[in-house]
Amino acid sequence: MIKIAIDAMGGDHAPKEQIAGALLALEKIDDIEITLFGDREMMKPFLKDHPRLHIVESDGVIPMGEKDPIQAIRSNRKSSMAMALTSVRQEEQDAIVSSGATQALIAGAHILVGRMKTMKRTAIAPVLPTALGKPFILLDSGGNIDIKPEFMVHQAHFATVYAKEVLGVEKPTLGLINIGTEEGKGRDIDNEVFALFKANPNLNFIGNVEPKDVLTPPCDILISDGFTANIVMKTIEGTARGMGAMLKEELSKGILGKLGLVLSLGNLKRFKRRMSPEEIGGAMIYGLKGVVIKAQGSSKAWGFYNAIRQAANVVRQDVIHKVSTIIEAEAKE
């Protein structure tokens, strides 16, 4: 049995949608057991009995947008997030899924779960939709500014193993986010990373990729430092949101337009769903001793279920161990 800890109190629609997502996962996935960490009274209206569902009472929740996430975790050890993270550290649970505050989850994961021995830096790697029908991994989206070229090689290995084992891509390809496609473009760090990627036999590096191809990427993984990839992720989000708002506004203009809009509703819903990262799952934090998945803060049951499914896949495929084996082997060369 794969044991998954759920931070039931984190997220815009917690605990309702988190619990609904967990129940859906239990129904659809046979080899998982789920433990909800949360406030029993608040969870009660949404709970159903299930032989593979357990509950651990927690006290409090880490607030969103906490200015000092490390302090937030340290002073809330009984919160649903902190207790769920601790259960992974203690190997009571194999994975944790949380829709809670991102920076607190990263800080908490460092403190309470701990880093892999083989990786010096963690990275956040959401899996995003493309216009091509297949998703891609974008990392490091976490805003980690303190990066060295060799850390990015480790992160690239993690993403490669993840794409292969969890996304089912046979030979995952890797592109470096840059301002031009030619070799030699970009900053010093980009050129150093380019050289390391190119020389590494365990990576299928295709070279520089300009973000004007971000929804039609010629590879399965797009990588940059934590500042740049975070900027890319937020620009995708901002553009998609802005365009969505403009589209809605324009489409509902005039009588013909309104009629057209009604007829197109089904198609527009499918379009919206295709653009939604929730269809794919959450963002995994790479580089930790345990499996930590950040689901979107705005997750509804379906999105949260997808994040749980993803967590189970990562555990089932033994991703962390496989990544460590590659990095260790390279270190010995």
Tell me the HSE value of 100 on the side-chain side, using a 13 A CA sphere: 34
Residue 48 or 270 with smaller CB distance to a copy of itself: 270
Residue 117 or 241 with smaller CB distance to a copy of itself: 241
We find the least distance from the C-beta atom of residue 224 to a copy of itself, in angstroms, to be: 8
Residue 78 or 187 with smaller CB distance to a copy of itself: 187
We find the least distance from the C-beta atom of residue 179 to a copy of itself, in angstroms, to be: 4
Residue 30 or 188 with smaller CB distance to a copy of itself: 188
**Alpha carbon of 97 to those of 24, 31, 81, 294, 310: distances in Å?**
14, 16, 9, 6, 9
We find the least distance from the C-beta atom of residue 25 to a copy of itself, in angstroms, to be: 28
Nearest-angstrom CA–CA distance, 1 and 94 = 10
**Alpha carbon of 78 to those of 82, 93, 227, 290: distances in Å?**
6, 17, 32, 19
- Residue 316's CB is within 10 A of a number of other CB atoms, namely 15
Q: How far is CA 9 from the centre of its chain?
A: 18
Strand, helix or coil for residue 22:
helix
Tell me the HSE value of 176 on the side-chain side, using a 13 A CA sphere: 29
We find the least distance from the C-beta atom of residue 121 to a copy of itself, in angstroms, to be: 16
Nearest-angstrom CA–CA distance, 251 and 273 = 18
Residue 270 or 321 with smaller CB distance to a copy of itself: 270
Amino acid at 122: T
Q: What phi and psi, each to the nearest 5 degrees, are found at residue 182?
A: -65, 145
Residue 195 or 247 with smaller CB distance to a copy of itself: 247
We find the least distance from the C-beta atom of residue 184 to a copy of itself, in angstroms, to be: 10
Nearest-angstrom CA–CA distance, 177 and 221 = 10
Place of tokens 């500042």: 227
Residue 28 or 253 with smaller CB distance to a copy of itself: 253
We find the least distance from the C-beta atom of residue 18 to a copy of itself, in angstroms, to be: 23
We find the least distance from the C-beta atom of residue 20 to a copy of itself, in angstroms, to be: 27
Q: Which of 242, 253, 250, 304 has its CA nearest to residue 277?
A: 304
Residues in contact with a copy of itself by CB under 8 A are 67, 130-131, 143, 145, 177, 179-180, 182, 186-187, 210-216, 226-228, 230-232, 234-243, 245-247, 250-254, 256-257, 259-268, 270-271, 274-275
